[in-house]
């Protein structure tokens, strides 16, 4: 039986969640190493944004986008260590959407935002283990939201 709980998010308000949507971050995220549990949250009016709310700290919340809403041709390249952290036992190619969910954190930049597609949040959809992968997009680099709502590669 699944029991619902409520996290009182500083930024999103009360969110009801259950263990079926909990993400496990064994090593936390760089800069947030002590936070090991998160939930992904969608606000319908702000789709396709995905908020990543920490369950360990109600103040910590990230705003993210699925990487392919930024770069439709994005392919995931994981290191051996990252595959191991996500508990993928074989070295077969991983499918975004079927095996993993890849989210890019949005970082404020002047009056807009940018996203580092080389360091996406990668969620194993089979076990909900989650890491922030380094160099996961090869030489993809940074994208910045420009005029007209278009994403532009900046390096």
Partner 1 sequence: MLVLRRRVGEAIVIGGEIEIEVIEISRTRVKLGVRASRDVSVLRREAIALAAENRMASDLIAHRGQQGVGDLLRLLCEISGENPQAEPERVDM
Least distance CB 136 / partner 1 (angstroms): 12
Q: With binding defined as CB under 8 A, does residue 12 bind partner 1?
A: yes
Q: Name the β-bridge partners of 123.
A: 101, 130
Least distance CB 8 / partner 1 (angstroms): 12
Q: Which H or E run contains 130?
A: strand 130-132
CB atoms within 10 A of CB 84: 12
Q: With binding defined as CB under 8 A, does residue 72 bind partner 1?
A: no
Least distance CB 93 / partner 1 (angstroms): 21
Residue with tokens 């260590």: 81
CA 72 to chain centre: 16
Instruction: Tell me which of 26, 84, 87, 107 binds partner 1, using CB under 8 A.
Output: 107
- Verify cis geometry, omega within 30 degrees of 0, for the bond prior to 48: yes
Enumerate binding residues for partner 1 (CB under 8 A).
10-13, 15-17, 20-21, 29-33, 39-51, 59-63, 65, 69, 105-108, 112-113, 116, 119, 123, 125, 128, 132, 134-135, 145, 148-149
């Amino acid at each position: 039986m699944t029991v619902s709980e409520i996290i009182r998010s500083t930024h999103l308000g009360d969110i009801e969640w259950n263990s079926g949507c909990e993400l496990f971050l064994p090593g936390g995220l760089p800069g947030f190493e002590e936070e090991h549990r998160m939930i992904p949250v969608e606000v319908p009016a702000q789709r396709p944004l995905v908020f990543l709310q920490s369950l360990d700290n109600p103040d910590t919340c990230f705003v993210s986008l699925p990487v392919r809403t930024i770069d439709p041709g994005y392919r995931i390249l994981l290191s051996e260590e990252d595959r191991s952290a996500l508990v993928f036992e074989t070295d077969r190619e991983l499918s975004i959407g079927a095996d993993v969910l890849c989210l890019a954190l949005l970082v404020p930049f002047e009056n807009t935002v940018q996203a580092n597609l080389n360091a996406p949040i990668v969620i194993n959809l089979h076990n909900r283990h989650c890491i922030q992968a380094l160099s996961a997009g090869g030489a993809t680099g940074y994208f910045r939201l420009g005029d007209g709502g278009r994403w532009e590669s900046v390096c």
